[in-house]
Structure 1
Amino acid sequence: MRPFTHMTNKNSERRILLGRVVGAFGVRGEIKLESWTEPRSAIFKYQPWILRSPAGVETELSGARGRDTGKHLIATFPGVDDRDVVEAMRGTEISVARSALPPPRPDEFYWVDLEGMDVFTTTGIALGTVSHLFSTGANDVLVVRGDRERMIPWVRPDFVVDVDFDASRITVDWDPEF
């Protein structure tokens, strides 16, 4: 999850997917994780975790610890000390409540807070709603779904002119025909 400026109560209880269990590491119950936080080891800062197994069973976990080996992110969970238990957890998703995340810094946004917002051009033409965002390396991209899907570079103020959380509206300088 990449921090991108504002925290609202309407998103405070949303769940944010931070990563997943990808397998066992060694024989003592250590766990290989995939993390989508930046940096990836920041996943351990946001707890308690809500674990959702591939079968849909949810449990809450506090006290997960870990380290970044460079190649893998390795975790230990309280009460888990057996490789077979870890292997049974493969594919388990790790989420937190949106309220577990710190407030973003001024002029930054959490992508999840932008999802679902309405997008309008500077001339008032509705383009749709934010489906999601993704990073290209050069810049982030706002994916807007309406009469069709549009990909708008997250470049402020060139393309993204204004973000109004109270109105749940993003204003962009974008040709609706493009």
Structure 2
Amino acid sequence: MALVGYARVSTTDQHPDAQTDALTAAGCVEIFTDRASGTLARRPALDEALKYLRTGDTLIITKLDRLGRSVKNLKDLADQLQDAGVALRVLSQGIDTSTPGGRLFFHLLAAMAEFEHDLIVERTHEGLAAARARGRTGGRKPKMTKNRITQARAMYDAGELTVQEIADTFGVSRPTIYRHLDQAT
């Protein structure tokens, strides 16, 4: 019955030291560390940890958000661990799925997180719809205004500059220039 730790930091300039120290203090004999965004489907160290774990082992993480990309992914991972006979312990939230109460608490937290996420999405959609109703659209303002498109067309028709040079003049990519040249004809 090994205690196995998993740590994840989102970017390469972040340090997993606080997580690995906590996992070591919790008695982990092996610690796997990823340096990748939680939204990425591919996390090599997590894959290694899941292969390393055996029935009766416990996977220890510092916080729930270090493990799952989403509530659904987190629940799927927890189910996968449970099916393999592996417990999950979350240090900061006091979750231990080796006990019935720990499993209940885990599922309650997951349900609350999913509910909170759904509310945020709903409010975001409502806000975007209200903004659209008032004539506002999201996103950044286009770099190529009508005047700039006319200038780019004139530069292109003059034949003195390459499309790359025209793009560099306006601070955009070549495909952007080509797209606007196609629209201007």
TM-score range, shorter chain: under 0.3
Structure with the largest fraction of helix: 2
Structure with the largest fraction of strand: 1
TM-score normalised to the size of structure 1? 0.23
TM-score normalised to the size of structure 2? 0.23
Query: Which protein has the larger Cα radius of gyration, Structure 1 or Structure 2?
Result: 2
